[in-house]
Structure 1
């Protein structure tokens, strides 16, 4: 706790230098939008000793969640003990650094310190380098970052988005301005609205464009403070006094813009678009993978690889089943054809037997496990070896070994083949199928 309070002491001068106009602008954004924003923070841009842009706490306004606001108005909040008591001590120390009225500090932390309020308070100690985390990336790109929902907050690769999600924030928005970044947080899921960006940029844009808007804002918010006639221009320039080292574009004619800066901005914009496209692809991948063990990208990719391997195994099983069914249909067709040919008439059977005897063809089949031994003996007429190979090819048998002998015009074939998967026919059925093929 002491470390947090002591680290906040370096920011006390910043709070003292903050003008009422900056606080009024943040309140104006929250109170004049239909969405319920829990808090608003302005991260002020300065340059450090290494000539790098540093975004640190400029000012903030906490509204609270809807439930907390209603309890506070009814006076029904009750203090809790344990870790919440420690939060209150730290909260009092942090708020005492930048509150002018001690009674306001006691009133703010009298009740329960919620997760969102704690997240808002400890943000005082945070700072970001341009290009790092969500705040620095928004400032470097010159646009905005809008994260809504559990998936976008968890998948966005930065610590502040994850920390906000852990403290109950469902929508986190960072809008770049010429002098810093406006951050908005809500406990509700809010869809992207261009009106929020326009309002923030108009209030925190160049001073000559927002003089009239700030006057209207003071009347709408109704906050006590000096009038514009009393405070003068310093009320508007105060928040950006420490940002005087920012590179303000020159208004002199004839001066050309820096090509190097434009090139750097183009690279930053391209990198931002690449990251957004990559995140969208992860969202699409998450939607098609049925079982995801964790929400991080590495686990998602591992689960996707496992799912693809399962699909590949299922495809291989289906292909085997298709081949088996095809083989069964072929063998059934052979059996049906053989049955029809042998049961037509007695005369036809006699003619077939006479023909077989005249030709002198003999087929013997032995099936041993996944292999089959086929011996065919026939006269050397009309290329019997070629017809035997054609018959084995039609039956989708793979030949392991084959030998052919010719003795006194009699051909002797010995063939060893591999039986296809799912083959469930008898030796006699296979013999009839081969014999039928050889006599075509």
Structure 2
């Protein structure tokens, strides 16, 4: 079993710098796989780790796939830097290659280890009747054409990897193979508020033991210390956030207001959408007096374009242009990117809850989850994309009364 270390340290505390330092000082006999959400962070590792050459998987091989390239690099014992998206496709062959190969995994930010698969119950029954899948003890096995490339291709590939589960007779749940983590000598997961994250519940479900650490600076070095949330100076960060208070918050008074369910139900409510659009414009134009290039906001994807206020609409991407205008609308789960470090005003038109199917999946497997810790962790990661990461103050429109309370509770160490 791997030694799993979770570096649960507040944003900006030096997690990535610690990882770079560790890799720079490691023995030549140690091999690393560094997994990060974004390609620009892959390049950062390639540029900053000295004395070893990190290779990035590509599709220049007989199979034309990055997964094949990843396997070839592991077989050759190369140091590897890649993205979450590729690592999530790991299969039995990857596990076999990693076992006893002496690799250390460094995971920059948690992975989505469990996700619902978007397939209708009628399609599941159709696949079962056609003999394409068999379901035993909730595990889905692909029994049809092993090379099927129909619209069920993603179902086939996931089932063939042994990572697909039929759950509560109505939906499929993809689960990352736990044997991947077991195949490494050491695993380092770098994140913040791990106690509220899906990967923590995944580790609990599969019985993984892990040690919690924080990162501190000691002179010009980064060192691991025992996890202690009271040393995080949360109030210092909270004071940099000017949380908007006015009648613009009335749209989020109810505890469940602005959740996925709530926004989905009101996605065709013209008056409601107009109100949100007017609120956004009022916040950016009147209350904060900022220009389009200084803001970002997030909400449910289905209503992103509908609520774009005049003067703050998403700019058109200029095909072939060397420099693109900065985005205004970003994903509500944005993390681990530095692309918005000059933004000073943000609006989070969202009330975060864990996906209900995933929540039930964990609960039915005996794992307790905290919706509140999960929500505030996602919000903090989102806020930290702004210039607050440079110690500069920001202005935040957070109309959900629940999310405002959770942020305050976090600052007071109640979460």
Tell me whether the two structures share a fold, i.e. TM-score over 0.5. Answer: no
TM-score by length of 1: 0.21
Q: Which has the larger radius of gyration?
A: 1
- Greater per-residue helix proportion: 1
Query: When the two structures are superposed, what TM-score results if normalisation uses the length of structure 2?
Result: 0.22
Which structure ranks higher in relative contact order (CA pairs < 8 Å, sequence separation ≥ 6)? 2
